[in-house]
A and B are shown apart, each in its own frame.
Chain A
Amino acid sequence: MQLSEHLETNLTALNARLGSSADFYAKRIELYRCRGAIFLFDGMASLESLWELLLDAASRQTPPLLSGQAAPGGERVYQLLWEHSALPAESAPVEDWESLMQRLTAGMAVLLLDGCAKGIAFSVQSLKYRSVEEPSGEGNIRGSREGFCDLLRVNLSLLRRLIRTEALVMEVRQGDCEMKTEYAVCYCKGKASPAAVERVKETLRRARPQMLLDSSYFVPWLFPCRVRTASPVGYTERPAVAAAKLCEGKILILVNGSPSAMILPTLFCENFECLDDYAQPAFFASFLRVLKYGAFYLSIFLPGVFVCLAVYLPELMPPQLLFKIEAAERATPLPLFAEMVVVILLLEVIREAGLRMPQTLGHSVSLVAAIIIGDAAIATGLMSTPVILIAAVASIAVFVVPSLYEAATIFRLLVLLAAGIAGPVGFVTAALAVLLALTRVSALGVPYCAPLPFPKTGISQDGVTRRTYRTLSARPFTIWQKRRKAP
């Protein structure tokens, strides 16, 4: 709906819409002898800045009114202000209510004049936001310590500061949701596939989330499916990581109010990489990656293998180990399979409790969980030590690859249930199901698990192991091209 020429009509309408809000600030003023009103939200826009930059300057420059001369109308004053180069006015006028609300909620002050159906927005934002800090969820030893904060514009500026070329495009749109949240689609021209960028933009434009609080809310629209075991997207809170991914031709989605940037498409192997990998010697980084792969598969398969061997194939175990397990199990009332399921579920409950509760209580809960529950369960003979040990190793191992936590937990339970119910055949079937579930995922035509022709490139240049950064840099990689073999 368009704004009215009459200030009173606009004021009445605005008061009806926002008048009951405590933070809504409206004040009648006179500029160049023309009646007007300024509007802003308290705490989002700075009245001091507005006074210094607009009102003071305008009142000092008001020309004297000669006798018989009529006061200038709203249109004339609008033109004067619009052409006044010293004022921090936005480049586009405010012409309708939607635009007015957009500017006000972005922390701007809007000036409406009597006799003019257009308003001027002034950039006098003074938004309070979390400062640029190191993200707690993504630790690294070397490299940038900066993390995204919650304000979209600040996050975009962090990216712009890192990629100082015209190739970086950051398109900001408003989500079609109740809160009208802004989001940004970022990509590097010439590196990202234009078709993929268009597809993502179109999908997001059509998406109708009820609310948009994080970039992950877009996943069901980007990759619609009934059951999602693994998502071909990655998340980062580090501008340095986001910039590196953009340079690989990937697309980044940032949502206002969330520090978490979605990267798509992402490969399975990228979950095992981190910033430090490229700052360390290649052989050591490769060693760590192999360890991470090992830990990930251990976290999925270890409980299942243990149950399968101990219950169905005890003859495969070395006798000493078998005797110890047998002795421990004899003292417990539950069967080994049930014990393992209970312990794994209990560990998930403890993890969730530790994550959600206030940090001041977190340590107490960890202590109670680790010492009292674990120790008491063994002492009372409810659980056996080998089962708790295996479940604990599997639970800890998954934290080596936190981005795959959800998938690993589901897969671990699936493998465990299959192995416990159907023995070795069930275990093998579940393992194959895990493999097929990972390989069937693809995003924008890029398979999550890249096809590695056996045995030629099983260990790629930057996959399970990596070559020196000099070799990798000789042939810059983008996700849309196949990496050729280095000379």
Chain B
Amino acid sequence: MRKLNFSGAAVSLSVLTTVMGQCILSGEAVSARTLLLQGLPMALALAVISRLLALAEVEQGTFSGNTFCSKLFCLLATLWFGAELVETLGQIQTLCWEQFSSMALVGILPLLLWAGWTLEPGVFSRSAGILWWAVVLAAAICFFSLSGQLHWENLFPEPEMTGPMQLPIYAEFFALPLFFETDGQKSQRHWVLPFAAFLVQALFAFGREAVFGPAHGLQGLELLRAGSIGGIARFDAAFLLVWLAAALFRCGMLVCTLRVLLCRAFGCGEQEVPE
């Protein structure tokens, strides 16, 4: 039976990409204060749940597909990951259409599904490190392009009335042992994933508040657009292209995961392909 052996870099890149996508496309602003007061405890609670679930899942073999319960869990996970795939594709399409006036995703989609279905999990793991460097480089350029526009006095204004914040919850948080099947220790180590997601949200929230001030309803994209170095502006496009690559990578990875889950849920025997 094919086993998923993604690297930590691949799983974290996949999750953080969709968090970034939400931050970029969403116009709902959460103040930095709310984020710290509500988001931090929520992320902590989520991390603890993730850790405990990972322990239990490893012990019970939840995603092994050997028992009826396990098959049922695989089917449920398939639905959840399927929904995430659709959500990520939606994010990509929104971004492509709004920013590049392109419907190219329609043409790319079959290719993407085929790649995700046929490629080995190791391929995604090996690609993740390189994509991470691209993301970090693009983020660093965007950050430095904002120098001079960050008004730190804008942070933490007078307490305002804001509603409860929503911390994004992804299937990956609760299915860590599925991604690291060949190394059980890895799933124990990656329980901090909800914190990483929180950190990305916090960076966007802090940045928006520092640049635009407390009261605004601008998309995270506007934060990227605000940067400039010398006469060169529009670093947002460079960042969006890198994000797009990471989002396509996430789609491929999700398809790869769905293939394994479907096989386990419906009990189709699949031979592991030697490299």
Interface residues of A (CB under 8 A from B): 312-313, 315-316, 318-319, 422-429, 431-433, 435-436, 439-440, 442, 445, 447, 449-455, 458
A422 touches B127 (CB 8 A): no
Given contacts A315-B234, A431-B245, A449-B126, contact A425 B108 (CB under 8 A): yes
**A-B CB contacts (within 8 Å), total count:** 91
Given contacts A429-B248, A454-B9, contact A447 B119 (CB under 8 A): no
How far apart are B112's CB and chain A's nearest CB, in angstroms? 8
Q: Which of B2-35 contact A (CB under 8 A)?
A: 7-9
CA distance A426 to B109 in the complex (A): 12
Chain A neighbourhood of B244, CB < 8 A: 424-425, 428
CA distance A439 to B244 in the complex (A): 19
B8 touches A453 (CB 8 A): yes
Chain B neighbourhood of A424, CB < 8 A: 100, 102, 237, 241, 244
How far apart are B202's CB and chain A's nearest CB, in angstroms? 20
* Interchain CB contact (< 8 A) of B123 among A319, A425, A428, A436: A436
CA distance A445 to B232 in the complex (A): 45
How far apart are A420's CB and chain B's nearest CB, in angstroms? 12
B130 touches A435 (CB 8 A): yes
Among A428, A435, A451, the most chain B Cβ lie within 10 Å of the Cβ of A428
Judged by a CB distance under 8 angstroms, whether B40 is at the interface is: no
Q: How large is the interface on B (under 10, 10 to 19, 20 to 34, 35 or more residues)?
A: 35 or more
Chain B neighbourhood of A447, CB < 8 A: 122, 126, 275
* Interchain CB contact (< 8 A) of B96 among A425, A431, A453: A425
* Interchain CB contact (< 8 A) of A425 among B8, B105, B130: B105
What 0/1 readout, one digit per residue, does chain B (106-135) give for beta carbons within 8 Å of chain A? 011001100100011011011111111100
A427 touches B248 (CB 8 A): no
List 18 additional A-B contacts (Cβ < 8 Å) besides A424-B100, A436-B127. Answer: A312-B100, A318-B231, A423-B102, A424-B237, A425-B244, A426-B104, A428-B244, A428-B245, A431-B245, A436-B115, A442-B275, A445-B275, A447-B122, A451-B7, A452-B130, A453-B9, A454-B129, A455-B132
Given contacts A422-B108, A436-B119, contact A316 B234 (CB under 8 A): yes
Chain B neighbourhood of A449, CB < 8 A: 126, 130
Q: Which 5 A-B pairs have the closest CB atoms?
A: A425-B104, A439-B126, A422-B104, A454-B132, A454-B9
Chain B neighbourhood of A439, CB < 8 A: 123, 126-127, 130
Judged by a CB distance under 8 angstroms, whether B136 is at the interface is: yes
Judged by a CB distance under 8 angstroms, whether B249 is at the interface is: yes
Q: Which of B225-241 contact A (CB under 8 A)?
A: 231-232, 234, 237-238, 241
A431 closest partner in B (C-beta)? B245
Chain B neighbourhood of A433, CB < 8 A: 115
CA distance A315 to B100 in the complex (A): 12
Chain B neighbourhood of A436, CB < 8 A: 115, 119, 123, 127, 252
CA distance A440 to B126 in the complex (A): 8
Given contacts A428-B248, A435-B127, A455-B132, contact A440 B104 (CB under 8 A): no
B131 touches A425 (CB 8 A): no
What 0/1 readout, one digit per residue, does chain B (91-109) give for beta carbons within 8 Å of chain A? 0000010001010110110
